[in-house]
Amino acid sequence: MSHKIKNIFRLALVFACFGCGLLTLDDPEPRVRDDSSPITEPEQAPANPDPVNDQDEDDGDGEVDSAGQEQPEATNTPIPPKAEPPADVSGFEIGPVVTPTYFPAAYTDTSLQLETFDVFWNAVNDEYLYRDFNGVDWDGVYDEYRPQVKAGMSNPDFWNMLTNLVYQLDDEHSYFVPTDNAEGIRDLMRSGVGYSGVGVALIGRPDQQDALVGWSIPGNGAHNAGIRSGDRILAVDGHPICCHPNGEPFGFLLGADGSSAEVIYQTPGQPVEAVQVQRAPIELNDTISGKTIDGNIGYIQINTFLARGVREEFETIWTEMNTPNRVDGLIIDLRANTGGFVFTADLIMYKFATGTLHYNFDAYEKDDGRLLPMNFSGDDLLGSQTVPLVILVSEATNSRGEVFAGILRDIGRAELVGRPTNGNIETISLFDLPDGSFVYLATDSLIPLSEDDWEENGLTIDHFIEQRFGEIEADGRDDALEKALDILRN
């Protein structure tokens, strides 16, 4: 994998970015250092908060796969002291980069911190996808940082240390969630309402020193303030939004329920604006919608595979579209899709394809890894296996959204229309830590049948669209949608 800093898709301060896939891996004999505890079987759950990463995960519903088996619920890098102001912000004061701090914890328990560090270290040592740790001396990390924990540190300092250690791995998908934020993330996964933020999914863009809004969730603070998918966020409360050393947006949007933040943002083609955005518990709304357009063409927009019930809603929408008459073609819009639960996405994909669709790289099967075929047994629903299919993608399509679209293109089942995707397809697994925090780690990856490098380059697009994501409303037209309709008409 390239070690360059690439765009990172994060659900910044809003709701964790969920896109990579949580898959259960073989549980090798755990390695234990000193008095550390062995790691446990990774829970297949959701992904990253604060600025969050799209992590694909298992939805935990105990879904049954095609074989009839139940699936499981799928050096501290310093922050630069200052940064050049983002472009196009004349008239707005933007100060130096600072490190966001976690909410203060009421206690410090060194013995619990040591146990947490050991479990964390072992999880990375035994389960991490890249066996060279992307150039990090992981044994050296243990020898350098464990004595610092033993000497005593505050919980916020301890969590910042673990956060930065994950950043050092530089895989663009792994992330750490501190105890004070973890329960809110779990609540979001369980009920669709979670910790406080403004409700956007962000992709850090170090080259432009901004963060692209992938999905602005209706009903949440950012959307209520006028921020939309495709806008670029430049700064929050006077601090640049971009970026941590691995390209992830800073977590300034996260905060206490009822608090507000000044957000400097820009809609494509419009002047830079500053707006006050209210924080509140994040609610996942309008995750999927559908309608029939242009006579008898189906259109379904799936903004995330994270929310529970997406598969059932998809089946309901598809059934209604095909009653009483079958549609002539289907457009699936993933341009704002932030990834999500692996099996939620896969069970929708089963409706459209069957056979060996891709290969999964498991780094632990052998010293040099092993390719494992992923076989799908198609599930036809009212002609879904044969309906002509076009998928819309964009710069904001990330993680499981990329995998979903890429697989269906690779097997010749769908044509892709839009712009190159984010390029972030490792699957991640969740590891609970003793202090109530958790870490998502990249544990395996996908090998496309086409042998294209999705991780490096994003998806190959069949029909490239010049119009950028976010310009649709200002332009008064949707070039990608029109191209998709042309394809299905002919």
Angle at which helices 155-169 and 110-127 cross, to 10°: 10
Nearest of 58, 54, 3 to residue 25 by alpha carbon: 58
Distance of CA 48 to the CA centre of its chain: 7
**What digits encode the pLDDT tens for the residues 460-474?**
999 999 998 888 877
* Contact residues for 475 (Cβ-Cβ < 8 A; gap 6+): 269, 467
pLDDT attached to residue 327: 97
Q: What is the secondary structure of 374-392 as a DSSP string?
A: EEE----STTTTTS-EEEE
pLDDT attached to residue 220: 93
Structure tokens at 431: 């590891």
Tell me how crowded residue 489 is: count the other CB atoms within 10 A of its CB: 12
CA separation, residue 272 to residues 86, 91, 234, 266, 463 (Å): 11, 9, 9, 5, 31
List, for the chain, all residue ranges whose pLDDT scores fall below the cut of 50.
1-82, 102-104, 106, 366-367
pLDDT attached to residue 402: 93
Give the DSSP letter of residue 118: H
Nearest of 212, 199, 191 to residue 8 by alpha carbon: 212
Q: Residue 19 in contact with residue 424, Cβ under 8 Å? A: yes
pTM: 0.77
CA atoms of 370 and 490, how far apart (whole Å): 42
Tell me how crowded residue 224 is: count the other CB atoms within 10 A of its CB: 16
**What digits encode the pLDDT tens for the residues 45-87?**
222 223 333 344 433 333 333 333 333 333 233 333 345 666 6
Tell me how crowded residue 386 is: count the other CB atoms within 10 A of its CB: 10
Measured CA angle at 264 (ends 423, 228), to 5 deg: 55
CA atoms of 182 and 323, how far apart (whole Å): 43
* Contact residues for 242 (Cβ-Cβ < 8 A; gap 6+): 86, 204, 205, 206, 208, 209, 210, 211, 249, 250
Domain boundaries, the chain: 288-489
Tell me how crowded residue 74 is: count the other CB atoms within 10 A of its CB: 31
CA atoms of 241 and 247, how far apart (whole Å): 11
Would you call the peptide bond into 20 cis, given omega within 30 degrees of 0 as the criterion?
Answer: no
CA atoms of 16 and 196, how far apart (whole Å): 11
Architecture of domain 288-489: Alpha-Beta Complex (3.90)
